[in-house]
């Protein structure tokens, strides 16, 4: 069976030629990761574990030293596949300031389509559509530097959306945003996934965001250590702590209550579940 995103035994290292002798940093070690079409995958791992490096392998910015990466059946090591792959798997980065190219919002959203040589009329249509999808249509004539962080990031997402990608890779898109901007971006991402079936790969340090995914992959030291549903991953609180990662606050709460002898499920990851479980506990205690 062909997977939509498929990394097989990928090894990747950065070469630093500036130093003598050249320094080689091995980042990805025999990584295999598959994502199905329409899936929402969250990738967790601490700083320097290789998450960004892996994401860049999925749109042919990084080419593996060995192993293969295919996107919708296209191999990333074939030059001719470059544009089709980047059109299929768009990427959004952490700092919105460093990915917006133009001085007017709508011109920036049009950038990718202009590069692809799309007809001006069609560009206009798709730019408007993308801006409406992320709720930034009223701001189309604004200068990007006058927008809030969350708005800029949504413009960046619109710039990718305009290409009609089947997949969006987001590399810590909410890391520089305030809670409100974070919610705006997460709501947009979830809506795209649910309503338009866009495959999402979300790299994040926020466990609450990861809990909303269909699946979580944990990367540590350039290897995929764990891969499973949010419930199955977060219920292993001790393993996560051992890896230096957090679990959602409610999971932690439930875990502590369990340790103190309360009868509460181990796989609580959302607030509602937590509220219900505690209410049930109180009910029983009465």
Partner 1 sequence: MLKDITLGQYLPGTSPVHKLDPRVKLVLTVEFIVMLFCAKNMWAIGVGALFCIISFALSGVPASLMVKSLKPIVPLVLITSVLNLFFVRTGDVLWKWKVLQITTEGRDTALFMIARIVLLIIGSSLLTYTTSPIDLTDAIENLLSPLKKLKVPVHELAMMMTIALRFIPTLIEETDKIMNAQKARGSELDTGSFADKVRGMVPIFIPLFVSSFRRAEELATAMECRCYHGGEGRTRMKQLHTTYRDLIAAIYTTLFFGGIIALNVLIK
Ligand X SMILES: Nc1ncnc2c1ncn2[C@@H]1O[C@H](COP(=O)(O)OP(=O)(O)OP(=O)(O)O)[C@@H](O)[C@H]1O
- The residue ranges that bind Mg ion (CB under 5 A) are 52
123 binds, among partner 1, Mg ion, ligand X, none (CB under 5 to 8 A by kind): partner 1
The yes or no reply on residue 176 touching partner 1 (CB under 8 A) is: no
Binding mask 14-33 for ligand X (x = CB under 6 A): x-x--------x-x------
What is the Cα–Cα distance from 249 to 261, expressed in whole angstroms? 19
Length of the chain: 286
Q: If we measure between CA atoms, which residue out of 11, 25, 8, 27 comes closest to residue 220?
A: 27
Which of positions 113-172 make contact with partner 1 (CB under 8 A)? 113-120, 123-124, 127, 143-145, 159-160, 163
What is the Cα–Cα distance from 248 to 206, expressed in whole angstroms? 8
Q: Which two tokens stand for residue 281?
A: 């506990």
**Residue 277 to residues 67, 216, 238, 248: CA-CA distances in angstroms?**
45, 23, 21, 16
The yes or no reply on residue 90 touching partner 1 (CB under 8 A) is: yes
The yes or no reply on residue 45 touching ligand X (CB under 6 A) is: yes
The yes or no reply on residue 83 touching partner 1 (CB under 8 A) is: yes
Residue 266: half-sphere exposure toward Cβ, Cα within 13 Å: 10
CB of 50 to Mg ion, least distance (A): 9
The yes or no reply on residue 48 touching ligand X (CB under 6 A) is: yes
154 binds, among Mg ion, ligand X, partner 1, none (CB under 5 to 8 A by kind): none
49 binds, among partner 1, ligand X, Mg ion, none (CB under 5 to 8 A by kind): ligand X
Residue 10 · residue 64 · CB < 8 Å: yes
Residue 215: half-sphere exposure toward Cβ, Cα within 13 Å: 16
Binding mask 104-123 for partner 1 (x = CB under 8 A): x-xx--xxxxxxxxxxx--x
> CA angle, corner 171, sides to 167 and 177, nearest 5?
120
SS3 268: coil
CB of 28 to partner 1, least distance (A): 17
The yes or no reply on residue 92 touching ligand X (CB under 6 A) is: no
The yes or no reply on residue 204 touching ligand X (CB under 6 A) is: no
Q: Where are the alpha helices (DSSP H) in 45-104?
A: 51-57, 82-88
> Binding residues for partner 1, per CB under 8 A?
56, 59, 61, 83, 86-87, 90-91, 93, 95, 97-104, 106-107, 110-120, 123-124, 127, 143-145, 159-160, 163
């Amino acid at each position: 069976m062909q997977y939509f995103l498929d990394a097989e035994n990928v090894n990747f290292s950065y070469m630093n030629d500036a130093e003598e002798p050249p320094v080689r940093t091995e980042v990805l070690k025999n990584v295999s990761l598959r994502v199905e079409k329409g899936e929402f995958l969250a990738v967790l791992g601490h700083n320097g574990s290789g998450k960004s490096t892996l994401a860049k392998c999925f749109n042919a910015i990084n080419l593996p030293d060995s192993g293969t990466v295919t996107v919708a059946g296209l191999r990333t090591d074939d030059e001719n596949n470059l544009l089709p792959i980047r059109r299929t798997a768009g990427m959004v980065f952490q700092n919105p300031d460093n990915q917006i190219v133009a001085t007017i919002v709508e011109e920036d959203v049009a950038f990718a389509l202009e590069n692809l040589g799309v007809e001006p009329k069609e560009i206009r249509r798709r730019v408007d559509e993308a801006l409406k999808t992320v709720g930034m249509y009223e701001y189309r004539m604004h200068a990007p530097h006058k927008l809030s962080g969350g708005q800029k990031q949504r413009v960046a997402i619109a710039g990718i959306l305009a290409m009609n990608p089947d997949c969006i890779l987001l590399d810590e898109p909410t890391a520089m945003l305030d809670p409100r901007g974070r919610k705006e971006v997460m709501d947009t991402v979830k809506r795209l996934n649910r309503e338009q079936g866009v495959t999402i790969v979300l790299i994040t340090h926020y466990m609450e965001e990861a809990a909303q995914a269909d699946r979580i992959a944990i990367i540590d030291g350039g290897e995929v250590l764990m891969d499973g549903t949010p419930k199955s991953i977060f219920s292993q609180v001790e393993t996560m702590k051992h890896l230096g990662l957090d679990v959602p606050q409610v999971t932690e709460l439930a875990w502590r209550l369990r340790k103190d002898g309360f009868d509460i499920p181990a796989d609580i990851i959302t607030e509602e579940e937590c509220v219900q479980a505690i209410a049930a506990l109180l009910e029983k205690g009465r």
